[in-house]
Amino acid sequence: MNGRLIPPGDGVPLCFRRVSVGYGDRTVVREASFDVRPGEFVGLVGPNGAGKSTLLRAVTGGAEVKMGDITAGDSVVRLHERERARLIGVVPQSQPSVFAFTARAFVEMGRHAHLGRLESLRPEDHAVVGEVMERTDTARLADERVDELSGGDLQRLTLAQALAQQPRVLLLDEPTSHLDLNHALQVLDLVRSLADGGMAVLGVFHDLGIAARYADRISIVAEGGVLPPRAPAEALDAATISQVFGVRAVVRTDPVTGTVAITPVLRGEDIARAESGMRVGLVCGSGTGASLMRQLVLAGHSVACGALNRGDVDQAVAEALGARLVELPPFGEMDETAVAEVAESFSEVCCIVVCPTPFGRANLPNLHAAVTSGRPLILMGDMGPDRDFAGGEARRLWNEAVSHGAVQARSEADALVELERCRAEKG
Amino acid sequence: MARHSIMARLLIAALAATLMLGALTGCGGAAEPPEEAAQIEAAFPATVTDDAGREVTIDARPERIVSLAPANTEIVAGLGALDRLVGVTSYCDYPAEVTGIEKVGDFMTPNLEAITALDPDLVLVTTGVQAEIIEQLEALGAAVVAVDPQTVDALFQSIRTVGAAIGETPAAEELVVKMEADLAEIGEKVGSVPVRCFLEIAQEPLFTVGGDTLLNELIEYAGGENVVTEEGYVPYSVEQLLAADPAVYLATKGSMSDPADIAGRPGYENLAAVSGGAVFLLDDNLVSRPGPRIVEGIRQIAEALHPDAFGQ
Amino acid sequence: MTASSERNRHALTLVGLAIALAAAIIAGVAFGAVSLPPGEVLGAVSRALSGHGSTLADALVVDLRLPRVLLAALVGASLALAGVLYQALFKNPLADPYILGVSSGAGLGATLSLSLLGTSYLARAVGVPLGAFAGALLTMLLVVRLASRRGRLDPTSLLLAGIAISYTLSAITSFVLVFDRESMTSVVYWMMGGLGNRSWEHVATLGAMLAAGSMVPLLFHRELDLMLLGDERAGQLGVAVERFKLLALGSASLVVAGAVSVSGLIGFVGLMTPHMVRLVVGPRHRLLLPASALAGAIVLVVADLLARIVLAPVEIPVGIVTALAGGPFFVWLLVRKERSR
């Protein structure tokens, strides 16, 4: 499948051994230790300026290796440029060109390290160039001038140029930043298949979703350090994302692709200081509480969600936003402990909002806890037969709440207004 | 300038006549000095027309003379007034006594302060680059006379003008007569068949003199024919030189330092003058200064052009 | 475009340029201050091959015009070649061979020689080129030394160092001339650039220097292409960047120093020629280098011819002719740039 792209023979691992890198007097990353094994695609992610690109550049001398060693078989620092170029290919963030090379000539430059002083391109070199351009969908650009190409075309062309080196190790710096959806996937599928064919691939990504989807392992670079690479699901949990990026995000395994999907919910900085915030209880599930939960947290309130099943959208959002909840196994039911916990958490809130979630036997205890908590209730929507799957119990609890003075809200906006009134009354 | 020189000639002729009459009639013994003195006194105030076309009146016999050109310095010395010369340029070097006289700058940029310090009553300038300072010099209270002859005849005229200006008319006349005699002698020796020659005044780029220049006239007096037909100071192409192929190659010392050198220049080995060894250096001080020694310059050229006639 | 058709295009281009150069040389030898009928010119050339004739035509053609025209070709080729190298090193299609202050160094060297060696033609014929050459090379060394930081040669530092040295050396040159007014004409004339009165020795010397200096560029043409992508990228693709920069700089400076030493400061050829050739044949150095060298030779042979015949018999310094072409060239560039917006 990879034809000429991957040289025959064993792959070579790229190893960082307690490597500190930087420029001049500045050390950007300290004591990075990790491996990229042949056949593996490792993604480097992290906030801007963390040093991801610096680590990458250090492999080929663009940044200084101040301590430790980087090896690809042998120490790369000691390699001559020519040998290094046959071993390691780099796809940097592409810069626009001032000179009018043709695209084909541009890619042919990748063969430089394979040619002797007096040699020009041999048939096998032309074959490599041809295949590389096919696989990157740049063959049709062959006679165009590089100074007239779009950013996306130039980026794919730069990849082709690096692949023309037939490297065993591939370094990518944001390889899809200029690419449209179609080309981005094409490039990543290509890189994935190269990794599967035995190349060791290390890529810097800004898009956590893409990194999570294509990388075998992910390493987070932040605050001068590098976390050991782990599988995406482990490396990218909500707590880490919140801590490293300052973003509250929902991290779930996407049912369609089977990969980790990250949905940012809100920025940590946007959360108002919680001095004036209340504690609000939320009875929700199946996504009915997500939006309201988000608005409440943004406004600086703390939220208690009752009990939710793992895999429920609201559970993921609650976890992302740091809301208090009792986590149940998927499709599991509440046991006595859970019920007691929920009751306790609801007893500490100012008021409780009941979101328009349907109720069944499994989550009815949440409603029961809310109604019996004695707290002011805000009921959203109506309790019609489409919501009551608990044999009428939900309806009965609803009516009980209404008779005890629960307020009804038609929409989230209404609910929020009622909340404010509730708080004002409390004083 | 021509009509003024006629006027000047008449005036000077009249003065000369008066002086000679005075000398003839005053043939006594002790009576002479006072008469001479009286006659010298009678020469002033004098009015001369200089080479800038200006009429200049010198009130009294100048005692403090400044010369701003080597040629003019030599004229003053040639007229026997060296003792009255108080300022010269840094290029003035003849006669030897001149080196002890105060220097007031070089030919291109005379130093007004230095000149002022000497308190001159007569300043001899040239035209051209020095024309600008004439007014400033006159403001010092000195008489300024421009002396800048472009031909041999004009040189004789200039000598007489300077003579009148400094009160040495008999010496001037004597000098001119001698120079004319020397010229006649040279003319006889060189005969009537001119020798084709070329005169280099700058090496790179190659510059030479054409018609209507003083150097060209000197060549003619020396029995030569300049191969350069253009007028004035002109650049010349080596190709033209090869085509003209002069019999004798002359160069001023400032342009070339060693005649043997010249064979090394590309193309020059083809010149008859080079292969015949007829390459001569001329002393700039003799051929480029319109002064009393110009005749020596002509003689030098003539010796190069007609070696047999001068026993070389 | 297939590889073989590209090779054919290369060959055709170079052959075409070579023919144009031959034509220019023939014209250069046929015309001059003294007009010669074509028959005599041909006769002189054929006699020259078998010995040395003795007519005026022989002297003009073989001793004066031929060495001069050949020297013009060599100087033009040298300057153009150096221009290509500097443009690659600086990744700037408008870099000029004198960019590192080499011209001021050569000027000072020539001035000191003219001032100290008097009027002997022989002394000057040897001393001035030597002085100019030494001045040029020493300047380059000084500039490189100043601009090196931690073993790296950075284009911006090179530029700044070049400008600084250039101003300083020009000032010193002017200072020397204040004290030696008599040399002023010779120095100014030399600086305007001229090919007059040059001998076969000059041709041989510059020929050797050009041969030596063009080895590196021709052998390392791929590296030159890669350098255009930026130092870091070139390194990633396998070029030993810092070593190569020194090699390229050394070759370029050798060739410029050689040209300047025999012909004074002839400007614009080294800048215009590679730029124009690149617009036609593209930036790949495999073709750009020989094509620029040939084109540079043609440009200067023609410029020299014009210098000799436009105001014949007065010879305009060649540098003035090239400068007169330089002005309109830049205007044309500007117009073209505005139009493409």
C232: nearest CA partner in chain A: A62
Decide if C238 and A86 are in contact by the 8 Å CB cutoff: yes
For residue B132, pLDDT beyond 80:
no
Distance from CA of C263 to the nearest CA of B (A): 13
Say if residue B52 is in the same domain as residue B104.
Answer: yes
pLDDT in tens, C141-152: 999 999 888 778
Task: Tell whether A258 is covered by a domain.
Answer: no
Distance from CA of C65 to the nearest CA of B (A): 9
Say if residue B49 is in the same domain as residue B176.
Answer: yes
Neighbours of chain B (3+ CB pairs under 8 A): C
Say if residue A77 is in the same domain as residue A217.
Answer: yes
Domains of chain C and CATH, by start: 23-339 (1.10.3470.10)
Decide if B204 and C60 are in contact by the 8 Å CB cutoff: no
Closest residue to B236, CB basis, from C121, C199, C313: C313
Long-range contacts of the stretch B177-180 (C-beta < 8 A, 24+): B179/B292, B179/B294, B179/B295, B180/B156
For residue B156, pLDDT beyond 70:
yes
C3: number of Cβ within 10 Å: 15
pTM: 0.82
Task: Tell whether A366 is covered by a domain.
Answer: yes
For residue A28, pLDDT beyond 90:
yes
Task: Tell whether B18 is covered by a domain.
Answer: no
Of A380-389, B194-203, C66-75, C284-293, give the lowest mean pLDDT range: A380-389
Contact residues, chain C, for B245 at CB < 8 Å = 56
Decide if C60 and B242 are in contact by the 8 Å CB cutoff: yes
Collect all residues from A whose CB is shorter than 8 A from any CB in C: 57, 60-62, 80-82, 84-86, 88-90, 92, 95, 97-102, 105, 109-110, 112-113, 115, 117-118, 120-121, 126, 143, 161-162, 165
Say if residue A215 is in the same domain as residue A136.
Answer: yes
Task: Tell whether A214 is covered by a domain.
Answer: yes
Domain boundary among A192, A214, A236: A236
Decide if A100 and C91 are in contact by the 8 Å CB cutoff: no
Contact residues, chain A, for C237 at CB < 8 Å = 85, 109-110, 112-113, 161, 165
Task: Tell whether B32 is covered by a domain.
Answer: no
Decide if C283 and A80 are in contact by the 8 Å CB cutoff: no
Task: Tell whether A7 is covered by a domain.
Answer: no
Contact residues, chain A, for C94 at CB < 8 Å = none
Say if residue B82 is in the same domain as residue B144.
Answer: yes
What is the domain-level CATH number for residue A339?
A: 3.40.50.720
pLDDT number for residue A134? 94
Say if residue B167 is in the same domain as residue B57.
Answer: yes
- The average pLDDT across B265-282 equals 91
Of A74-88, A173-187, B125-139, C155-169, give the lowest mean pLDDT range: B125-139
Closest residue to A60, CB basis, from C225, C226, C236: C236
- The average pLDDT across C80-101 equals 89
Say if residue A218 is in the same domain as residue A294.
Answer: no
Query: What does each C-alpha distance from B123 to A357, B49, B54, C338 come to in angstroms?
Result: 120, 14, 14, 64
Decide if C189 and B204 are in contact by the 8 Å CB cutoff: yes
pLDDT in tens, B53-87: 889 898 889 999 999 999 999 999 999 999 999 99
Say if residue A191 is in the same domain as residue A308.
Answer: no
Decide if C121 and B203 are in contact by the 8 Å CB cutoff: yes
Closest residue to C120, CB basis, from B202, B237, B257: B257
Distance CA C315, CA B203 (A): 14
Quote the percentage of chain B above a pLDDT of 70. Answer: 86
Say if residue A304 is in the same domain as residue A155.
Answer: no
Peptide bond into C313 cis (omega under 30): yes
The complex scores an ipTM of 0.87
What is the domain-level CATH number for residue B69?
A: 3.40.50.1980
Task: Tell whether B21 is covered by a domain.
Answer: no
Task: Tell whether B36 is covered by a domain.
Answer: no
Task: Tell whether A327 is covered by a domain.
Answer: yes
Closest residue to C284, CB basis, from A82, A101, A165: A101
Closest residue to A100, CB basis, from C1, C239, C282: C282
For residue C316, pLDDT beyond 70:
yes
Task: Tell whether A381 is covered by a domain.
Answer: yes
Say if residue A135 is in the same domain as residue A53.
Answer: yes
Domain boundary among A214, A236, A258: A236
Q: Which of B215, B217, B222 is nearest to B287 (CA)?
A: B215
Quote the percentage of chain A above a pLDDT of 90. Answer: 55
Name the residue range of residue B63's domain. Answer: 43-180
Contact residues, chain B, for C120 at CB < 8 Å = 256-258, 261
Say if residue B72 is in the same domain as residue B159.
Answer: yes
Domain boundary among B154, B180, B206: B180
- The average pLDDT across A319-328 equals 89
B255: nearest CA partner in chain C: C119
Query: What does each C-alpha distance from A226 to A43, A78, A146, A219 come to in angstroms?
Result: 12, 24, 36, 7
Closest residue to C33, CB basis, from B237, B245, B257: B237
pLDDT in tens, A117-166: 888 889 999 999 999 999 999 999 999 999 999 888 999 999 999 999 99
pLDDT number for residue B20? 55
Query: What does each C-alpha distance from C11 to C18, C288, C291 come to in angstroms?
Result: 10, 12, 10
SS3 content of chain C, % helix, strand, coil (to 5): 80, 0, 20
Say if residue A232 is in the same domain as residue A271.
Answer: no
Closest residue to B264, CB basis, from C67, C121, C185: C121
Name the residue range of residue A186's domain. Answer: 14-236
Domain count, chain B: 2
Say if residue B295 is in the same domain as residue B236.
Answer: yes
Residue B9's pLDDT band, with cuts at 50, 70 and 90, is low
For residue B32, pLDDT beyond 50:
no
Residue B3's pLDDT band, with cuts at 50, 70 and 90, is very low
Q: Which of B229, B238, B288 would best serve as a mutation to test chain C binding (most C beta carbons within 10 A)?
A: B238
Say if residue A229 is in the same domain as residue A270.
Answer: no
Peptide bond into B205 cis (omega under 30): yes
Contact residues, chain C, for B239 at CB < 8 Å = 32-34, 60, 64, 313
Decide if C64 and B266 are in contact by the 8 Å CB cutoff: yes
Quote the percentage of chain C above a pLDDT of 90. Answer: 47
Say if residue B147 is in the same domain as residue B125.
Answer: yes
- The average pLDDT across C64-83 equals 94
Decide if C63 and B267 are in contact by the 8 Å CB cutoff: yes
Domain count, chain A: 2
pLDDT in tens, A230-250: 999 889 988 888 888 888 888
**Segment holding C244, helix H or strand E:** helix C241-263
For residue A111, pLDDT beyond 90:
yes
| Residue C238 DSSP class | T
pLDDT number for residue C277? 93
Closest residue to A99, CB basis, from C233, C238, C283: C283
C242: nearest CA partner in chain A: A81
Q: Tell me if chain C has a CB within 8 Å of the CB of B229.
A: no
Say if residue A349 is in the same domain as residue A390.
Answer: yes
Distance from CA of C279 to the nearest CA of A (A): 9
Distance CA C265, CA C46 (A): 34
The rounded mean pLDDT for chain A is 90
State chain A's maximal CA–CA distance in angstroms.
Answer: 95
Closest residue to C235, CB basis, from A60, A89, A162: A60
pLDDT number for residue B2? 45
Task: Tell whether A8 is covered by a domain.
Answer: no
Say if residue B175 is in the same domain as residue B197.
Answer: no
Domain boundary among B147, B180, B213: B180
Decide if C314 and B254 are in contact by the 8 Å CB cutoff: no
Decide if C34 and B236 are in contact by the 8 Å CB cutoff: no
Residue B137's pLDDT band, with cuts at 50, 70 and 90, is confident
Distance CA C276, CA C270 (A): 11
- Cβ pairs bridging A and C (under 8 Å): 74
Decide if C237 and A102 are in contact by the 8 Å CB cutoff: no
Say if residue B201 is in the same domain as residue B272.
Answer: yes
Closest residue to C1, CB basis, from A100, A112, A143: A143
First to last CA, chain A: 71
Contact residues, chain C, for B241 at CB < 8 Å = none
Say if residue A276 is in the same domain as residue A194.
Answer: no
Contact residues, chain C, for A84 at CB < 8 Å = 238
Closest residue to B204, CB basis, from C34, C182, C186: C186
Say if residue B169 is in the same domain as residue B258.
Answer: no
Q: Which of C29, C68, C119 would best serve as a mutation to test chain B binding (most B beta carbons within 10 A)?
A: C119
For residue C53, pLDDT beyond 80:
no
Neighbours of chain A (3+ CB pairs under 8 A): C
Say if residue A39 is in the same domain as residue A167.
Answer: yes
Regarding predicted confidence, which is higher, A331 or A273?
Answer: A331
Interhelix angle A313-321/A238-245, rounded to 10 degrees, is 40
Decide if A143 and C225 are in contact by the 8 Å CB cutoff: no
Decide if C238 and A113 are in contact by the 8 Å CB cutoff: yes
- Cβ pairs bridging B and C (under 8 Å): 85
pLDDT number for residue B21? 55
Say if residue A209 is in the same domain as residue A327.
Answer: no
For residue C269, pLDDT beyond 70:
yes
Say if residue B138 is in the same domain as residue B47.
Answer: yes
Domain boundary among B133, B157, B180: B180
Decide if C237 and A113 are in contact by the 8 Å CB cutoff: yes
Say if residue B174 is in the same domain as residue B195.
Answer: no
pLDDT number for residue B11? 57
Task: Tell whether B4 is covered by a domain.
Answer: no
Task: Tell whether A99 is covered by a domain.
Answer: yes
- The average pLDDT across B28-34 equals 47
For residue C173, pLDDT beyond 90:
yes
**Chains A and C are touching, with contact defined as 3 or more CB–CB pairs separated by less than 8 Å:** yes
Task: Tell whether B234 is covered by a domain.
Answer: yes
- The average pLDDT across B238-259 equals 90
